[in-house]
Amino acid sequence: MTGTTSAQLLQRAQQVSPDLATLLVAWQHQQGRHHLPWQQAREPYRVWLSEIMLQQTQVTTVLGYFDRFLTRFPTVAALAAAPLDEVLTLWAGLGYYSRARNLHRCAQDVMALHGGVFPRTALALQTLPGIGPSTAAAIASFCFGERVSIMDGNVKRVLSRVLAWEQDLSVTAHVRSLEAAAAQLVPARSEDMPAYTQGLMDLGATLCTPRKPACLTCPWSDLCVGRRTGEPERLPVKTRKLKRSERESWLPWLVWRQQVWLQQMPDKGVWAGLWTLPLLDSDAALAELLGPEGVAQAEPQPRSKHVLTHLDWWLNPRRWVMGDAQAAEVLPRLQALSPSGRWVSEADLALFGLPAPLRKLLG
């Protein structure tokens, strides 16, 4: 099976179409998930919001955030009009903050360029910030019945198995071939698209899971070529694994007159646009900033590990409540270190977009 070509894959897809779609739609109606809040009204704003939140994040985590966002921003117009900091604050804890920034920019573009109405096709939706092909397909198929296939990580896994596509998905051309095959599998009737799309998501989340696919109860069991190989869990093949690395930072938590010194992170990179304590790469750099008095007085806080997709990040905060003279001495060094920095009243911290570990720390 390792030598399957793109043409053979396409042929395989054509052989099982339209049966796969028929089986999946029926299964979704009977046994799929129907209780998720964004399913209650298939409305572009809600679907878009849920899709962006669900990227890299579990459904159970997203539920609370989704409700809070909708309560605060019931429409795309409300979201577009909100200050970015408020959006980031509400997003804190979901991670991948570029998603929140794009969410805000996208809402503003929908208002400015599309009269407050989401475009109806996957192609047009992809022109908006933060909406990639799979999210665009989800919105277009759920809300407008467009016959396009979503293609997130779960769907790639499910389709690789059902079509026994054993080529390495680290190679873009192999993903493209799978996409072409996926396009063959969508139902003929556009009114079946919401159930089909949801069915793909449900299958990936509940039955065709990464380690132990539940083939016996799967609606595609009889047609699944991967299952016939005996080891569907070997698929998909992906050789290029994300390399994890470690980083350690020292965070001066400087308090002066009930204010904390915060700096804003650059627009790109980890915690983009969020407010944090200054970040230093070594104990020595921290000592240089604080001076001998600060080193003696700053209280070490518990070291914590912040886990990102590719990085384990160790954080070492040191809290120092400074008097006026001490603050005056440290300030020039602080300003040189973090030009975007400023004193923020402890009472106002909730108004600033802080990453989850700092929100927890600063309370």
Binding segment (CB under 6 A) for ligand SF4, from list 50-58, 85-93, 101-109, 212-220: 212-220
Q: Is residue 221 involved in binding ligand SF4 (CB under 6 A)?
A: yes
Backbone conformation region of residue 130, classed left if phi is above 0, alpha if psi is from -120 to 50, else beta? left
Q: Is residue 224 involved in binding ligand SF4 (CB under 6 A)?
A: yes
State residue 353 phi and psi, 5-degree precision: -75, 100
Q: Is residue 158 involved in binding ligand SF4 (CB under 6 A)?
A: yes
Q: Is residue 226 involved in binding ligand SF4 (CB under 6 A)?
A: yes
Catalytic residue among 43, 51, 166, 299: 51
Question: In this structure, are strands 311-322 and 245-256 parallel, antiparallel, or unpaired?
Answer: parallel
Question: In this structure, are strands 311-322 and 299-300 parallel, antiparallel, or unpaired?
Answer: antiparallel
Residue 342's nearest CA partner among 275, 270, 272 is: 275
**How many residues at the interface with ligand SF4, by CB under 6 A?**
15
CB nearer ligand SF4, residue 126 or residue 229: 229
Q: Is residue 362 involved in binding ligand SF4 (CB under 6 A)?
A: no
CA-only gyration radius of the chain, Å: 25
CB nearer ligand SF4, residue 24 or residue 87: 24
Instruction: Tell me if residue 51 is catalytic.
Output: yes
Beta bridge partners of 246: 312
Is the sign of the CA dihedral 286, 288, 289, 291 positive or negative? positive
State residue 311 phi and psi, 5-degree precision: -150, 135
CB nearer ligand SF4, residue 24 or residue 265: 24
Shortest Å, Cβ 29 to ligand SF4? 17
Q: Are the C-beta atoms of 32 and 124 separated by less than 8 Å?
A: no
Binding segment (CB under 6 A) for ligand SF4, from list 44-52, 216-224, 332-340, 354-362: 216-224
Residue 261 burial (CB < 10 Å; 0-12/13-18/19+)? buried
Q: Are the C-beta atoms of 261 and 278 separated by less than 8 Å?
A: yes
Out of 32, 130, 187, 213, the residue judged to bind ligand SF4 by CB under 6 A: 213
Binding segment (CB under 6 A) for ligand SF4, from list 16-24, 210-218, 273-281, 333-341: 210-218
Binding segment (CB under 6 A) for ligand SF4, from list 109-117, 206-214, 287-295, 315-323: 206-214
Q: Which residues bind ligand SF4 (CB under 6 A)?
A: 158, 161-162, 207-208, 213-215, 218, 220-221, 224, 226-227, 232
The residues carrying an active-site annotation are 51
